[in-house]
Copies of this chain bind each other. A is one copy, B any other.
Amino acid sequence: MSATGYMGGEVLRVLLDHPEVEIAWLTGRSGGQLADYHPNLFGLDLPLIHPSKVVPCDVVFLTVPTRPTLDVIDTLLEQGARVIDLGSTFRLKDQADWERIYDLKHTHWHLVEEAVYGITELHSREVTNARIVANPGCFSSAAILGLAPLVNAKLIHLEHIIVDALSGTTGAGAELSKPTHHPEIGNNVVPYNVVDHRHTYEVEQELGLIAGQAVQIHFSPVYIPITRGILDICHTFPKEKVTREDVLDIYREYYRNHEFVVVYDQQREEGTSWQYRPYPWVSAINGTNYCHIGLDYDERRNRLVVYSALDNVGKGGAQVGIENMNLMFGLDRGQGLRRKGLHPG
């Protein structure tokens, strides 16, 4: 639903290659042709229909804001569709928070209660039976995946978790804006929404569930001049001294059955001035459903820093939506999602 934005385009791109899926319809409020929005799909003969013309199908990917989502959700559910919402309508479980943050009255809170927060590594069982999946925010996915093993292991203090997030400009969407105008950002860095960002609440919610107590996330994003990809840099303070190797073990164990989270555990090369090899690169996972997680430990100052890299449009958006679809329909969880990232790219 809405194939004209970046999320819709990516859902479509990957589904076209998915052996178990047939595209029923695509919407586009402003009309035009698919290639006007996605030149990579030039030549495909798939018309854009108006949102009011949707017909029954098995699953609907929603890539629209809250208002149009709430306008159409009852019809979709009545038609028997299961819904994967790539927006923020169903993510937060605290209504007061949601209504304050999004500055809207939520008219379908019972559906929020029913919806499953679609981080597959945490909620795969609930996703299997969900009628509505609330796909996580891109920054949230990176932070939750990066921090969950530490919180779960009760290894760190929960009041001083700092997350700096570096985002590619697709994170701002297809709508034009000054901070994503190339002359402005092409050789620049743009901090924005630097305190109380909406995604903060998703991370606090999910890590709080794991911790069984409140967790405070100190989160600030910046746009940098890359097109895709997020690197969440998570600073944490262990309760006791640890070693890099021990913590890597915790991560490897936590993600043992989750092929799309890769613990990037390359060795540090002591004595070289270029210590870049042990840490994840967004260029390695762009275009994919993979999340690469690496980390290091400053034993002198007892700080553990975790790097969590994923593609905001891929594992942080459209592709995790398809992973959720695979789970919901009893398909191989990774079907259509295993192609490795383009590197260099």
Q: Is the CB of B344 within 8 A of A6?
A: yes
A66 to chain B, nearest CB (A): 13
Which of B162, B309, B340, B342 is in CB contact (< 8 Å) with A162?
B162
A231 to B279, CA, bound (A): 20
Q: Is the CB of B166 within 8 A of A303?
A: no
Q: Which residues of B contact A185 (CB under 8 A)?
A: 182
A196 to B222, CA, bound (A): 24
A193 to B6, CA, bound (A): 26
Q: How many copies does the complex hold?
A: 4
A303 to B36, CA, bound (A): 27
Question: How many residues of chain A are within 8 Å of chain B by beta carbon?
Answer: 96
A229 to chain B, nearest CB (A): 7
A329 CB–B CB distance under 8 Å: no
Query: With A16-B340, A39-B284, A292-B42 given, is the CB distance from A162 to B225 under 8 Å?
Result: no
A160 to B301, CA, bound (A): 10
Which of B224, B227, B300 is in CB contact (< 8 Å) with A166?
B224
5 contacts across the A-B interface (CB closer than 8 A): A40-B288, A174-B183, A188-B283, A191-B276, A218-B298
The 10 residue pairs across chains A and B that have the minimum distance between CB atoms: A195-B298, A188-B283, A40-B343, A39-B284, A183-B344, A176-B176, A40-B341, A169-B182, A192-B276, A40-B284
Q: Give the B-binding residues of A (Cβ under 8 A).
A: 6, 9, 13, 16-17, 35-36, 38-43, 103, 160, 162, 164, 166, 168-170, 172, 174, 176-196, 216-218, 220, 222, 224-229, 231, 233, 235, 237, 262, 264, 266, 271, 273-277, 279-288, 292, 296-298, 300-301, 303, 305, 307, 309, 338-345
